[in-house]
Amino acid sequence: MGLFSFLTQEIAIDLGTANTIIIQNDKIVVDEPSIVAVDTHSGKPVAIGHKARQMQGKTHQNITVIRPMKDGVIADFNAAEIMIRGMIKMIDKKSRMISPSLKVVICIPSGCTEVELRAVRDSAENAGGREVYMIYEPMAAAIGIGLDVEAPEGNMVVDIGGGTTEIAVIALGGIVCDKSIKTAGDNFTADIQEYMRYQHNIKIGERTAEEIKINVGAAIPDLDDPPADYIVRGPHQMSALPIEIPVSYQEIAYCLDKSIARIEAAILAALEQTPPELYADIYRRGIYLAGGGALLRGLAKRLEAKHKIKFHIAEDPLHAVARGTGIALKNIDNFQFLIR
């Protein structure tokens, strides 16, 4: 048994729409964008993660850049398999360990269908996973934040990722009620692209829109500590001549308003389904925000004003789900909510 356990490599994967994070021995060993560049003719991988992201929007006809994940689930099965396999190889390069057997815990959106769940399992098995377990994202986020998920108390987690926003009320080691909506970081990026096109007549790519979101993204138009305007360069839609436009956080708060309103409505819908005893716990303890979307400036303030409940932003919200998945991996036998 000792030899077998030495030969088994245990990893936790947060397979996100925007980023994929792999944890091994409590350490983040891979943190790369969920993106892969393949040779158009042979279908072989050219680059994975950061290198593939640098190629986005800049490729010629022999290279295709694919984002295998859409709305939190696998949209391109082959590309997902290439990506998972490539990222597992990155660990082996770092650890110099040849591993014949993989024990994997992967997190999945709570609104996952049986077919989507099967796709994740098959991709992990084809990439070398011998034992594959799954955990729902909001549960992993709650564990990563440090909440006691098995206590007889209600905790509410809102995980705003790249493809989905997961909202769940957790008590006694299970999800009591949840809401999963396909409005999240990718929608914010698309909103910014559209706004720049209509408002400023400038064409921008996905990467530039992402940069705008990171630098001046905001949920409210009056921040206490406002960021400086972000300069965007690109072609004018009509003349194709180059133009330079400063973008302020107020503009972005305005253009993201509708998407954030959809998240607010989903939180309200989840609160409506919550049993009264658990609602009282949530009101007392507050609601926890995780995922990259939690980094949007002023989001907690806006949600508090809307729902009249305190919102806490998780420490390092980007890695909360991955950390929780890593803890679940260490306690596979204790946690009953892992899906086999």
Q: How far apart are the first and last CA of the chain?
A: 22
As a whole number of angstroms, the distance between CA 276 and CA 27 comes to 39
Task: Indicate whether 233 and 201 sit together in one domain.
Answer: yes
Tens of pLDDT, residue by residue over 195-229, are 999 999 999 999 899 999 999 999 999 999 999 99
Q: What does the pLDDT look like over 237-248, one tens digit per residue?
A: 999 999 999 999
Task: Kindly state whether residue 339 falls inside one of the protein's structural domains.
Answer: no
pLDDT band at 322 (very low <50, low <70, confident <90, very high): very high
What confidence score (pLDDT) does residue 259 get? 96
The Cβ of residue 13 has, within 10 Å, a number of other Cβ atoms equal to 26
Q: Give a yes or no: residue 162 inside a domain.
A: yes
Q: Are residues 170 and 265 part of one domain?
A: yes
Beta-carbon contacts of residue 276 (< 8 Å; ≥ 6 apart)? none
pLDDT for the residue numbered 208:
93
- Show the tokens assigned to 52: 């593939």
Please state the separation of Cα 282 from the chain's center in Å: 24
What are the residues whose beta carbons fall under 8 Å from the beta carbon of 147, sequence distance 6 or more? 155, 157, 170, 288
Residue 205 shares a structural domain with residue 176: no
308 domain-assigned = yes
The reply to whether 276 and 239 lie within a common domain is no
How many C-beta atoms surround the C-beta of residue 211 within 10 A?
17
Last residue of a domain, one of 255, 273, 299: 255
Give the pLDDT mean for 23-35.
91
**Are residue 307 and residue 192 in the same domain, yes or no?**
no
Residue 86 lies in a domain: no
Q: Are 49 and 33 in contact (CB under 8 A)?
A: yes
pLDDT digits (tens, 9 = 90+) for 46-65: 999 999 999 988 888 999 99
Q: Are residues 171 and 209 in the same domain?
A: no
Q: Is the pLDDT of residue 320 over 90?
A: yes
274 vs 292: CA distance, rounded Å: 25
SS3 at position 156: strand
**166 inside domain:** yes
What confidence score (pLDDT) does residue 94 get? 59
Same-domain pairing of 190 and 297: no
Would you state the structure tokens that stand for residue 85, as one six-digit string? 């396999």
For residue 114, is it within any domain?
no
Q: Quote the pLDDT of residue 1.
A: 40
Do residues 270 and 250 share a domain? no
Does residue 251 fall inside a structural domain? yes
- How many helical (H) and strand (E) elements, i.e. helices and strands, does the chain have? 12, 17
Identify which has the larger pLDDT, 149 or 8.
Answer: 149
Percent of the chain surpassing pLDDT 70: 95
Number of domains in the chain: 2
Position 218 scores a pLDDT of 96
219 and 158 within one domain: no
What's the pLDDT tens digit per position in 138-194?
999 999 999 999 899 999 999 999 999 999 999 998 899 999 999 999 999 999 999
Q: Are residues 251 and 266 in the same domain?
A: no
Question: Of 234, 255, 276, which one is at a domain's C-terminal end?
Answer: 255
Number of residues that this document lists for the chain: 340
- 143: enclosing H helix or E strand: helix 137-145
**Tens digits of residue pLDDT in 252-298:** 999 999 999 999 999 999 999 999 999 999 999 999 999 999 999 99
Same domain, 161 and 272: yes
Residue at a domain's end among 213, 236, 255: 255
Can you give the pTM of this predicted structure? 0.90
Q: What DSSP line would sit under 78-113, residue for residue?
A: HHHHHHHHHHHHHHHHHH----SEEEEEEEE-TT--
For the stretch 173-176, contacts whose Cβ atoms lie closer than 8 Å and that sit 24 or more positions apart, written own/partner, are 173/149, 173/335, 173/336, 173/337, 174/337, 175/110, 175/136, 175/138, 175/139, 175/337, 176/274, 176/275, 176/278
Q: What is the pLDDT of residue 130?
A: 86
Residue 233 sits in which domain range?
185-255
Give percent of the chain above pLDDT 90: 66
Q: 3-class DSSP state for residue 53?
A: helix
Q: Are residues 158 and 200 in the same domain?
A: no
Return the DSSP state at 119: H
Q: Which long-range contacts (CB under 8 A, 24 or more apart) does 171-177 make?
A: 171/278, 171/281, 173/149, 173/335, 173/336, 173/337, 174/337, 175/110, 175/136, 175/138, 175/139, 175/337, 176/274, 176/275, 176/278, 177/270, 177/273, 177/274
Kindly report the CA angle at 219 between 195 and 179, in degrees rounded to 5?
A: 100
In a domain, 168, yes or no: yes
Which CATH number goes with the domain that contains 197?
3.90.640.10
pLDDT tens digits, one per residue of 76-109: 888 998 998 899 888 866 555 555 578 899 998 8
Does 284 or 7 have the greater pLDDT score? 284
Using alpha carbons only, give the angle 62, 38, 321 rounded to the nearest 5 degrees. Answer: 150
User: What's the average model confidence in pLDDT over 19-23?
Assistant: 93
